[in-house]
Structure 1
């Protein structure tokens, strides 16, 4: 086995300044009105609109439906998200209670009522959403779309989109992947200690 992935010493970023414009609550209410509200549980995210299946293509239309996306792994990195989804707008950091960060080659979250996950909200267009579905391997069974609820103190009244790993990969992350996660933690000013613990836990599973 090669050398273990390492998380550098803690360095705080810019604290995740909020974007200007519509509030997070406005986007959440719009998303809830279109897709339904779920409190206290996780559901699969709604399917893509009709017309995206093979043989049923519709003419391109302007994206009009914002989607609130909760990032907790490599997509915390603003540079990585900008490269993947240029239209995505970083909003602000949030805390998701009742879940724990875990690494199984890549980042995922698992239910844990005594834990919490530091994350970031992005505002996505529908095009961004479809791009992330493809990158995260939803169609290949690597991740699944899910809706998770944030506490009322975060100012978001409807569930937000995230991705949860479902394939059978196990073990610690590669250093290249971990570097993206570290950059994201620093972008949003997060403490690196929870990240170190999650990486150490992944290494323990293969010993």
Structure 2
């Protein structure tokens, strides 16, 4: 049994400098499209953050990281596991950053408890996520659409 696991990042953990600080032993393996899921901003009194929820026609760009047990413990603390986010194993195929080869793995994602209310993230959090989208050449409209959808739900005009 290895102490390394695969982790699906879709929000602020796409930000490589931030992940390097939090999880110094983590390695970027590749990118994938998580089909059947959508992004939403949800939260609590401390703020709104990204989560994923199943959605038949949704697709989210993600990064697959290989993490050690220590990295996973740091992520658990950061994500407020198990009270704020829970973990779910998801099988998906990623494309290797270095090799370009496709590989199917089971990786864990943090998912915010569904009863949390839709909310609006801070500009800082949004910028952090956008930097990750830029790094991996992801379509920023996916993130912006999630933001606009949450604005609408919260009753804000675009």
TM-score by length of 2: 0.84
Q: Greater relative contact order (Cα 8 A, min sep 6): structure 1 or 2?
A: 1
Count of residue pairs the alignment pairs up: 144
Specify the alignment match of 2:104 in structure 1: 157
Q: Find the aligned partners of 1:71 and 1:100 in 2 and give their Cα distance.
A: 13
Q: Find the aligned partners of 1:91 and 1:186 in 2 and give their Cα distance.
A: 17
- Contact in 1 for aligned 2:93/2:105 (Cα 8 Å): no
Aligned CA-pair RMSD: 1.8
Please identify, of 144-153 and 179-188, the stretch whose mean Cα deviation from structure 2 is larger: 144-153
Specify the alignment match of 1:117 in structure 2: 60
The yes-or-no answer on 1:193 pairing with 2:141 is yes
- Contact in 1 for aligned 2:119/2:150 (Cα 8 Å): yes
Higher Rg: 1
Ranges in structure 1 where 5+ consecutive residues have no aligned partner: 1-33, 35-63
The yes-or-no answer on 1:92 pairing with 2:40 is no
Which SS does the other structure have where 2:103 is aligned?
Answer: coil
Spell out the pairing of 1:1-150 with structure 2 (5 A cutoff). 64-104=2-42, 105-139=48-82, 141-150=83-92
Which SS does the other structure have where 1:110 is aligned?
Answer: strand
Ranges in structure 2 where 5+ consecutive residues have no aligned partner: 43-47, 96-100
Runs of 4 or more consecutive aligned structure 1 residues displaced over 6 Å after TM superposition: none
Q: Find the aligned partners of 2:50 and 2:110 in 1 and give their Cα distance.
A: 10
**1:114-158, Cα deviation, whole Å (9 max, x unpaired):** 11110001110111011101110014x100011111148883333
Shift of 1:66: 1.3
1:182 corresponds to which of 121, 130, 139: 130
Q: Find the aligned partners of 1:143 and 1:152 in 2 and give their Cα distance.
A: 23
The answer to which structure has the higher strand fraction is: 2
